[in-house]
Amino acid sequence: MVEHVSSEVLVDRPALVGRLAEVLGYPLTMIVAQAGAGKTVLLQQWADTVPDLPMAWIDVEPEDDDPMRFSRRLLMALSSIRPEVAGLAHMSALGGGGLGGPLLERLGTAFAAFPESVIVLDDLHHLSNGALMADLGRLAAVLPPQVHLVISTRADPPIAWSRLRLRHRILELRQADLTMTRAESATLLAKITGREFESDLVDTIVTRTEGWAAGLQLAALTLKFQESPAEFVAELSGSERLIAEYLAEEVLDALPERGRMLLLRMAPLDVMTAELVDHVLERSDARQVFERLEHESLFLVAIDPQRTSFRFHHLFRDLLRYRLRSEDPAEKRRLLGRAADFHLARGELTPAIEYLLRAADWDRALDAIMTRGSDIFERGEMRTVIRWITSVPEHVRAGRLDVQLELGILVGMAGETVRAVDALDRVARHPNATSGERVTADAWISATAQWSARPESTLRAAERALAGLDAEPGIVLPDLMRLTTPALMRTLATGSGGRSQFLLGDLAEAEAWMDRALATDGMSYPPFRVGMLGSLALLHAWSGRTVEAELLAVEAIGCARATSLLSHPIIADAHLAQAMTAYERGRSDVAGPPLEYGVISAEGNGRTQMSWIARLVAAHLAGLEGRFDDALELTDLSSTDAASAPAPAVRGRIVAARMSALRRSGRAESALRLHEVERGTLRVAPSVVLEAAAAALAAGRPDAAKLLLSDPAERFRGERPRGEAHRLVLRGWIAALEGARPSALDLVGAALGQAEPHGLVALFLESDPVVLDLVQEHAKGHAGFAEQVLHARGTADPAGATGAGVRNEANHGLTDPLTERELEILAFLPDHSTTAELARMCFVSVNTMKTHTAHIYRKLEVSGRSAAVARARELGLLPLSRSDPVRA
């Protein structure tokens, strides 16, 4: 929102405004200058010259360092230009609650429909979040030529603009440019003081202040009350900081005592309204006070077009607060307390809590914090409340078990699992803890299952919580964010127990726990319902029950949409279930979007196990497409530490996927050696045994495969239908190698029968040509699913990964065509992402990404990225940029 400053302090600066008239000729404009240099005023003056130019203006505040808040403000500002952009708000939490990949992608698409327009980020120096800064860099990269970014800041942001600078694509105004000329300075002095000064006096002031707008304004305010201006000007000296402090003190000291005290007593307030000032200062003329202060140019700034909310200029406010704190600290605390009372009476908890914390009124602050409800969880605002609680000295909150419990819950939701479990466990073991507090602590410890490499510990916590609830039917639980009723804790512990069982690999028990959770009363709470439906969908996809998985995932996403939870990290399970279902059906072409959403949702609060499952799906898709090196990269566990390791069930599937990539790339013996390593673990996953049998067959050792498959069939049925169908495929492969063709056909036919209701195409595609030949023979007498497998075999084209050719007409113009993977990476090159960012988006290491890009440059016969993009556009492999010349 554009801030409105009193017209009495404004000086027209036509030369600078003329410079800003060039904004529409550059993708980026930066105004970098110190506080008080007049950056905002200049931007306002320029904006007034282009009233018909659509403009999204954000006055950046310190609170915007929260990616969730900033992304929401950005979308709201952009919706003033194109209202449909507001519909992207559900994506604003993806990627850590902020500007994630999907949101940037959708914004890039939306920007194409924008008219000539400007995005203004005023006071960007309030942002320090490195990830948010990186996202801003990427945002600038997706802007089309007709959308221009304008930034004002006190310091250069940590964003690499060198490419734009080298191409002269940045308009920059700096401190020297904003220095006020002598004529402007004279006009400003005359406006504020109401009198003209001799030329020499003006020259001295301009020299001493070096044209610094705030210094000139402060000097003018002081001169307004000086009987001997020449003496004051003669003594004016020192650095800009000292000048500001000295002049501000002079302004205050020159005021009547009553006026000075009024300003000091208003200083503790952040955003001032007439009602707030009247309440805090116990008066009834705040509106007149605002008018008088504006008239006297006493650094009052209106922050809304209706001029109902105001603040002091930051430098002036800071001085006032310093003076009040040193002169009357008790009065400062009293005023802050009254401001808190005002907001509490109106249910405005956020400003009330901020005032109480600044007043060091710790007990009242904690009491207010503890009244916050479940919106903290639903809106993803955990970080703010964590900051509030940890602002209170630890010795004050140490005796409040309710506060320790809430802090543990919040840091757990935010992904700090070790810290969360430690805090919750301390409460559970505290000698003064009630049985209700222990149950609550255990229930929320169990909720960390998806972050934990040791799900057996979260399962035990779930069992303890449920035992506590069963032992004491009338148990009283502490009321924390309205999320700790007995019904909700039973739902949470039961659902978390199901997730723990899943991660341990006991799928039957996991399903039983999850079904019980869905039948509990607490499942009416939308986030719990969305999460549990998604988890059950993922469990079914894991087993190959794709139809149930798809239905449950759609139900979870529909519920999330109806309850405004599409941007909540809890939706990750449903997206990953959809991606895994697409893989199982051999549809790598539709698995990408849900996988990307799942990754970013899981990373939104650091759910390690969900991130591992996302890597597993990405590895499966790479293997399905014949990108075996990528699959091996994704399944490399060699550098994983114990805290971030995959849970047992996930580890088993990852090892199996790695064995499959090794076998299918001609390294069956390496796959078997990996199986030998796994046999040293406590329990070998069924998927690893099945892949070991496949590796033995690929190595020409059917007897070894038979031995591996001799385990009781029930072991493989635990993951039915996938495990059972996979075992039948392998037995058919054995029969074929032994010359028992009829038996082989029967076994593969039985496998097809098991797989058909669920569309399990991938397990056939990943088997062996021997098996696929049997499928082809089976298809001669049985139309249907066998033909579907064969069709998928034709479209998967694993050979494409080795550069044998890609079905792309434009690609045929190359002597050595790009592979599908290389085409995928080529599409990312124009967005200015770094190699590390590209690697992260494509689930590969930096070294692998460098290898891919080197191959792209070689095949395109260029030496670097810009040249590659240009050449690809010439060939039609990339769309033309809107800034490219039209070619005949």
Residue 241 has pLDDT above 80, yes or no: no
> In terms of Cα–Cα distance, which of 381, 413, 379 is closest to 566?
379
Pick from 105-114, 228-237, 353-362: least confident: 228-237
Which of 265-269, 305-309, 383-387, 882-886: highest mean pLDDT?
265-269
Pick from 55-59, 233-237, 525-529, 762-766: least confident: 233-237
Pick from 24-28, 291-295, 344-348, 652-656: least confident: 291-295
Residue 430 has pLDDT above 90, yes or no: yes
> What's the count of helices (H) and strands (E) in the chain, helices before strands?
48, 9
Residue 92 has pLDDT above 60, yes or no: no
What is the CA 280 to chain-centroid distance, rounded?
39
- DSSP helix/strand/coil, 673: helix
Average pLDDT over residues 565-585: 94
- Largest alpha-carbon pair distance within the chain? 114
> In terms of Cα–Cα distance, which of 649, 645, 669 is closest to 659?
669
Q: How far apart are CA 175 and CA 165, in angstroms?
A: 18
Which of 174-178, 696-700, 807-811: highest mean pLDDT?
696-700
Give the residue ranges of DSSP H helices in 21-65: 39-49
Q: Say which CATH superfamily domain 362-524 falls into.
A: Tetratricopeptide repeat domain (1.25.40.10)
Query: What proportion of the chain, given as a percentage, has pLDDT over 70?
Result: 87
Q: How far apart are CA 612 and CA 634, in angstroms?
A: 9
Dig out the tokens for 34 from the structure.
Answer: 């110190």
Q: How confident is the model at residue 297 (pLDDT cuts 50, 70, 90)?
A: low
Q: According to the model, what pLDDT value does residue 807 have?
A: 33
Q: According to the model, what pLDDT value does residue 745 have?
A: 93
Q: How far apart are CA 690 and CA 348, in angstroms?
A: 59
Pick from 110-119, 196-205, 246-255, 348-357: least confident: 246-255
Q: Which helix (H) or strand (E) holds 715?
A: helix 713-717
Q: According to the model, what pLDDT value does residue 165 have?
A: 66
| Fold matches, 257-358 and 801-875 | yes
Q: 177 burial class (0-12, 13-18, 19+ CB within 10 angstroms)? A: middle
Dig out the tokens for 379 from the structure.
Answer: 């809106």
Q: According to the model, what pLDDT value does residue 880 have?
A: 61
What is the residue extent of each domain of the chain? 4-178, 182-254, 257-358, 362-524, 525-606, 627-704, 801-875
Q: According to the model, what pLDDT value does residue 774 have?
A: 92
Average pLDDT over residues 720-730: 93
Q: Which helix (H) or strand (E) holds 55?
A: strand 55-59
Q: How many CB atoms lie within 10 A of CB 798?
A: 18
Q: Which residue has the higher pLDDT, 410 or 216?
A: 410
Dig out the tokens for 510 from the structure.
Answer: 């996991």
Q: According to the model, what pLDDT value does residue 886 have?
A: 38
Q: Which string of DSSP letters, residue by residue, matches 602-656?
A: HHHTT-HHHHHHHHHHHHHHHHHTT-HHHHHHHT--TT--STTPPPHHHHHHHHH
Condensed to tens digits (0 to 9), the pLDDT of residues 702-717 reads 999 999 988 765 566 6
Q: How far apart are CA 385 and CA 374, in angstroms?
A: 12
Residue 497 has pLDDT above 90, yes or no: yes
358 with 365: CB under 8 angstroms?
no
Q: How far apart are CA 644 and CA 180, in angstroms?
A: 56
Question: Mutual orientation of helices 401-413 and 435-446 as an angle, nearest 10°?
Answer: 10
Condensed to tens digits (0 to 9), the pLDDT of residues 761-803 reads 999 999 999 999 999 988 876 668 888 888 887 654 443 333 3
> Mean pLDDT over all residues of the chain?
85
596 with 101: CB under 8 angstroms?
yes
Q: How far apart are CA 46 and CA 53, in angstroms?
A: 11
Which residue's entry shows tokens 């609680």? Answer: 389
Condensed to tens digits (0 to 9), the pLDDT of residues 163-202 reads 666 667 789 898 778 888 888 888 888 888 888 888 888 8
Average pLDDT over residues 360-385: 85
CATH topology classification for 4-178 = Rossmann fold (3.40.50)
Q: According to the model, what pLDDT value does residue 162 have?
A: 61
> In terms of Cα–Cα distance, which of 264, 299, 257 is closest to 280?
264
Q: How many CB atoms lie within 10 A of CB 876?
A: 13
Q: How far apart are CA 729 and CA 768, in angstroms?
A: 10
Q: Which CATH number fits domain 257-358: 1.10.3470, 1.10.10, 4.10.860, 1.25.40?
A: 1.10.10
Average pLDDT over residues 500-515: 96
> In terms of Cα–Cα distance, which of 107, 109, 123 is closest to 37?
123
Strands 147-153 and 4-5 come out as unpaired
Q: How confident is the model at residue 118 (pLDDT cuts 50, 70, 90)?
A: very high
What is the CA 532 to chain-centroid distance, rounded?
22
Q: Which residue has the higher pLDDT, 261 or 241?
A: 261
Residue 502 has pLDDT above 90, yes or no: yes
> In terms of Cα–Cα distance, which of 636, 703, 695 is closest to 670?
695
Please state which CATH number belongs to domain 801-875: 1.10.10.10
Condensed to tens digits (0 to 9), the pLDDT of residues 7-22 reads 334 688 888 899 998 9
Average pLDDT over residues 541-545: 96
Q: How far apart are CA 503 and CA 455, in angstroms?
A: 6
- DSSP helix/strand/coil, 31: strand
Strands 309-312 and 272-273 come out as antiparallel
695 with 672: CB under 8 angstroms?
yes
Q: How confident is the model at residue 868 (pLDDT cuts 50, 70, 90)?
A: confident
Average pLDDT over residues 731-745: 94
Q: Which residue has the higher pLDDT, 549 or 185?
A: 549
